[in-house]
Amino acid sequence: MTAPREPRIVIIGAGVSGIASAITLRRNGLNDFVILEKGSDVGGVWHWNRYPGLTCDVPSQLYQFGFAPKPDWSHIFAPGPEIQGYLADVVDRFELRSHLRLNAEVVAAEFTGSGWRVETGDGAVYEADFVIAATGVLHHPATPDIPGLGEFTGDVLHTARWDDAVPTAGRRIAVIGTGSTGVQVVSALQPKADRITHFVRSPQWVIWAPMWMPQPALVGAVLDRLPQVNQTLYQVGMAGAKLFTDVVTRPSWRRRAVQEFARLSLRAQVRDPDMREQLTPDYQPLCKRQVLSGSYYRALRARNAELVTMGIDAVTATGIRTVDGRHHEIDMIVFATGFQAHNYMRPMNLVGREGISIDDAWAKGPRAYWMTAIPGFPNLFTVLGPNSPTGSIPLHHAAEVTAKYITAWIQRWRAGEFDTVEVTESATERFEAEVGEALGPTVWSTGCNSWYFTEGGNIDLLPFNRRTMESALATPDDRDFRLR
């Protein structure tokens, strides 16, 4: 009997999905892998984002890997640095460091006919049988091209590229953008700023939540001592998350109740009718990625804060001019303007079978069969790729389930069942049609504009519940693939 061949695997990215992939491979006896990470440390978004006030608005006990529970989170909603520390700790605990190449940005990956040739910016080349692209969704910062920006003499920062050396206390700060990030950064900067001006193009619904609430030390100690209880808590959390999936994917009284709470959060915290009107969105709560905060409205009501809903005309040398002609004197502009969320692996030069580039394959927008397999790109899988459930199912879990699915394919390669595996066009089209139909009743389709939408107008989310995702990814279905 011949020994099984050992697949060589390149994982691109050392964020949540790259780490989940590496550990899943390792737990299944696949050890010949390298993780190429363009940053100087692991953590993905939690490495790149370090703006003041960064907090995860998903409860920490759910925002972790099922295989690596952390009992002792400091808060119910953990601060960003703690999450980054957790991810770094998981990398150490599972001994991934020797597989890791930091500061290694993949600039090109080309299918060779039987595998992949992957090249990093420093000229290193990796030959692989499989590529796992775990490159993330919210990775490329979007900075609007506002007239005059180049003339501004103060500091300009994007929240996803924060620089701690730039002082914020005692300064006149403009924050542009009202997503989860803008709301957090305004709340954090307001107390020490000389003046904070929040430029809000479209207000967001902001559901009140006690983001500052600590997790009692006793809870951590009990969960640490009793892993069974910890596991049960995780399962309870997952069951609770099911309710959230239900709320966003199906109209019901539960959705209406959450939406009413969003409206109440505004009414109860903003008494001034003018300000309340300015802060009232013209779309349904939950339509955009829901913002949670227990401090934003209070920060906006402070004496050193101003809400500006007038459009921005231009940036000047010393401030921002709005379309009503008013000039706002500013020392520092903070762009909380989000990400180019649909770039995925790009701008990497990714070339699949018969020379097809990912830009051509995705000319009408990113697409992948069940978030992971792309027609024309054999032996390449994405984790948290197109249509991932970023707005509905705990992400670590989605990454783990996808990583297991990919590992199942690689195990079959190892056993000699095929040399290349590629999803069919028809299976991908069928998946897209199912997604399109299921998106109909979701709250995301109720008439708002957000980063969930691709340029082509598709909603880049998974409109199914966790069980459906799990069963689709439980076992590879050969009928949807071409094996050679």
Binding residues for ligand NAP (CB under 6 A): 55-58, 138, 144, 176-182, 184, 201-202, 289, 312, 336-338, 451
Distance separating alpha carbons of residues 358 and 105, to the nearest angstrom: 17
CB of 144 to ligand NAP, least distance (A): 3
Task: Closer to ligand NAP by CB, 178 or 407: give it.
Answer: 178
Contacts of 74 (CB under 8 A, 6+ apart): 82, 214, 215
Closer residue to ligand NAP (CB): 320 or 350? 320
Of 6, 25, 23, 14, the closest CA to residue 407 belongs to: 25
Least Å distance between CB 400 and ligand NAP? 18
Least distance CB 187 / ligand NAP (angstroms): 12
By the 10 Å C-beta count (0-12 exposed, 13-18 middle, 19+ buried), 109 is classed as: buried
**What six digits make up the tokens of 437?**
């139909």
How many of the other CB atoms lie within 10 Å of CB of 321? 17
In angstroms, give the least distance from the CB of 483 to ligand NAP.
Answer: 36
- CA triple 477-388-440, angle to 5 deg: 95
User: If DSSP codes are grouped into helix, strand and coil, which group holds residue 334?
Assistant: strand
Smallest distance, Å, CB 445 to ligand NAP? 17
Cis status, amide bond into 347, omega within 30 of 0: yes
Residue nearest to ligand NAP (CB): 179
Gap between the Cα atoms of 116 and 128, Å rounded: 5
Q: How far is the CB of 121 from ligand NAP (least distance, A)?
A: 26
Beta strands 195-199 and 206-207: pairing type?
unpaired
Nearer to ligand NAP, 271 or 326 (CB): 326
CA atoms within 13 A on the CB side of 409: 32
At its nearest, how many Å lie between ligand NAP and the CB of residue 17?
15
CA distances (Å), 458 to each of 8, 167, 424, in order? 35, 40, 21
- Closest approach of ligand NAP to the CB of residue 232, in Å: 25
Question: What is the nearest approach in angstroms of ligand NAP to the Cβ of residue 191?
Answer: 19
- Please give the torsion angle defined by the CA atoms of residues 231, 235, 237 and 242, in that order, rounded to the nearest 10 degrees: 160
Cα separation values, 89 from 19, 289, 384, Å: 11, 29, 22
Write out the two tokens for 361: 């394959």
Nearest C-alpha neighbor of 212 from the set 12, 76, 81, 35: 76
Rg, Å, the chain Cα set: 23
Could you tell me the maximum CA-CA distance found in the chain, to the nearest angstrom?
81
